[in-house]
Structure formats: C-alpha cells, structure tokens
Amino acid sequence: MNQIFLNGITLEQLAEALAPKLNLQPAGQSQLPNDLLTPEEVCKLLSCKRTSLWKHTKSGKLKSYGLGNRVYYKRDEVLEAVRPINH
C-alpha cells in the first residue's frame, strides 16, 4: 500500500489536488444550473468588463438578484441570455 505524507500542505491545496481525481469542482466553482454567481464570476464567464455587465443588467438583458447587500446572477439565466437563438 502506498503512503502519502502531507507535510506542508494546506487543506485547500489537498482538496484542489484531489478534485480532478474525484471529478469534483474546486470550492467556489460549482457547475449546478441554479448556482448564484457574483458579478466578478459573471464577468469572467462572459469575458466582459464590469461596466458592460452593469449596462446589460440595467437594460434588462440580464437579471440580477439582491441577497442582503450583495448582487448575484443565476448561472442558467446568464448562459440562456448569451445563447444564440436557433431558428
């Protein structure tokens, strides 16, 4: 039996190293359809700037949700908004 020694590794580093082997997403990167995304995560997903995200939200193309004093977007709604229309 192989032994693994974990000297000098954090719990987060261990989880990150094991995630690909266990088919898991790293913490904070879940891919469930109704995930709530922060504006920063939406910008990264869409490769856009924060001002563009704000404009799309104000125009109604994207719907944001307030939870406390924070703003979130639903992953499935963001992906649906950018999906091309098939005729």
On whether the pTM is more than 0.75, the answer is no
Number of domains in the chain: 1
Q: Residues of 4-27 as b/e, b for ≥16 C-beta within 10 angstroms? A: eeeeeeeeeeeeeeeeeeeeeeee
pLDDT score at 18: 66
> Measured between alpha carbons, how far is 50 from 80 in angstroms, rounded to an integer?
19
CATH number of domain containing 24 = 1.10.1660
- Domain containing 30: what range? 11-82
24-54 confidence digits (pLDDT tens): 555 555 555 568 999 999 999 999 999 999 9
Q: Is the model's pLDDT at 13 over the cut of 90?
A: no
Is 77:63 a contact under the CB 8 Å cutoff? Answer: yes
Does residue 41 sit in helix, strand or coil? helix
Residues 18 and 59: beta-carbon distance below 8 Å: no
Given pLDDT bands bounded at 50, 70 and 90, which one contains residue 67? confident
Whole-number pLDDT of residue 10: 76
